[in-house]
Amino acid sequence: MLKFWMSLIKPRAWVAKLLFVALVIGFIVLGYFGHLGPLKEFLDSDDFAFHVGDVRFSAYLLVKAIFLIVLIFWFIGLVSDMLETRIKAIRTIRASNKSLIIKAIQIILYFMAFLSILGVLGINLTALTVFSGAVGIGIGFGLQKIASNFISGIILLFEKSVEEDDLIELNDGTTGFVREIGARFTRIETYQGYEVMIPNEDFITNRVTNWTFTNNRSRIDINVGVAYGTDLALAQRLILEAANENPRCLKEPAACCFLIDFADSSINFTLYFWIENVLDGRAEPRSDVLFSIWRKFKEYNIEIPFPQRDITIRNPEALK
């Protein structure tokens, strides 16, 4: 039902636009020749009217208001779409700035449309102060989240902390690319191919990891354990070779391998190496380096141990 009414206010198909234009022209012609006069008098009679303060409302005023709202919003929709297409075609403006400009234009256009409708209908804004308290309470409670998400979206566009095509990760582990920053939510496309609508407020109040905020480089960490008795210098050299031989491993900063811990079952190393573009993925270079480490360790008979425990029985006679 909502889509139906939106299609009336802002028709998309050319057939719908043509029919709407024909309907508008038809009403104008009928009004010009005076054929709408009797209908206007009937709907504007006192039988179909009521007063709110000094303002008189009638069925004719209601029909006129609906007609004007549809007409003005339809016209604004066309202008907005045309300007949006023109602005998105400008290559010298960043995507976030384009979204900000489009939203500012839409807000201005719809605000002017609201004032125009009130002026055409002859409604004085001071007469609406009766409802100001109720409207304020409604915004404070019913529209609190909507207003918060809208303002948060504007803050995101101004701060540019999250922009379109950025790779981000949320607190709940959701990771993906920002495809659109809307008035109420931000659309994220995940690696699995599905899209998640995240309220804009979450980007302001929660911690967000932006993998591409200042640059696209990313560090990959790999933990490797070797058995006790292994030549540690050789193991360290083989781990570094496995990383440096990978084509996506950067030479600067160089890969590093550190001995981290003498654990219960193994001696642990940690390998750090950097890749140039995190947008190309982190799983593939990590997997390739792990395979290379496995092959090199197998070639030099270096064991990657599994957890084990040595048990010493002090009184073997007790087992009998």
Write the CATH number for 198. 2.30.30.60
Residues 59 and 43: their CA atoms lie apart, in Å, by 5
Same domain, 132 and 258: no
The tally of CA atoms less than 13 A away on the side-chain side of residue 41 is: 4
Question: Using one digit for the tens of pLDDT, what is the confidence trace for 22-60?
Answer: 766 776 676 666 666 666 666 666 666 666 556 566 676
What pLDDT does residue 145 have? 77
Indicate the number of domains in the chain. 3
| pLDDT value, residue 10 | 54
Beta strands, E only, the chain: 49-52, 55-58, 167-169, 175-181, 185-190, 195-199, 209-210, 218-226, 256-262, 267-275
Whether residue 316 is contained in a domain is answered as: no
Per the CB < 8 A criterion, the answer to whether 239 and 273 are in contact is no
Residues 65 and 92 in one domain: yes
Kindly state the average pLDDT of the residues 188-208.
89
- Cα dihedral sign, 129-130-133-136: negative
Residue 3 has pLDDT above 60, yes or no: no
Note whether 22 and 74 are same-domain residues.
yes
pLDDT of 125 over the 60 cut: no
Residue 150 lies in a domain: no
* pLDDT tens per residue, range 94-110: 666 677 677 777 777 77
* Cβ-count burial 282-306 (b if 16+ within 10 Å, e if not): eeebbebbeebbeebbeeeebeeee
Please indicate, yes or no, whether residues 241 and 258 belong to a single structural domain of this protein: yes
Q: What is the mean pLDDT of the chain?
A: 78
CB of 118 within 8 A of CB of 125? yes
Same domain? 36 vs 136: yes
Residue 156 burial class via C-beta count within 10 angstroms: exposed 0-12, middle 13-18, buried 19 and up? buried
Domain boundary among 107, 142, 177: 142
Q: Are strands 185-190 and 267-275 parallel, antiparallel or unpaired?
A: unpaired
Same domain, 202 and 105: no
Q: Determine the average pLDDT of the residues in 80-96.
A: 73
Residues 83 and 187 in one domain: no
- At 255, which CATH number? 3.30.70.100
301 three-state secondary structure = coil
Q: Cα 152 to the chain's mean position, in Å?
A: 11
- Domain of 285 in residue numbering reads as 218-299
User: What pLDDT, on a 0 to 100 scale, did the predictor assign at position 5?
Assistant: 46
Same domain as 246, residue 136: no
Comparison of pLDDT for 26 and 296, the residue scoring more: 296
Span 211-264, pLDDT tens digits: 988 889 999 999 999 999 999 999 999 999 999 999 999 999 999 999 999 998
Least confident of 126-130, 157-161, 238-242: 126-130
User: 97 near 181, Cβ under 8 Å?
Assistant: no
Q: Residue 231 has what pLDDT?
A: 94
Residue 134 has pLDDT above 70, yes or no: no
Together in a domain, 61 and 14? yes
> Residue 297 is inside which H or E element, if any?
helix 283-299
Same structural domain, 72 and 96:
yes
Using CA atoms of 157, 163, 169, 171 in order, give the dihedral in degrees to the nearest 10. 0
Residue 132, pLDDT > 50, answer: yes
Indicate if the pLDDT at residue 17 is higher than 70.
Answer: no
* Residue 241: inside a domain: yes
Q: How confident is the model at residue 318 (pLDDT cuts 50, 70, 90)?
A: low
Say if residue 2's pLDDT is above 50. no
**What pLDDT shows up at residue 133?**
58
CA distance 200 to 181: 8
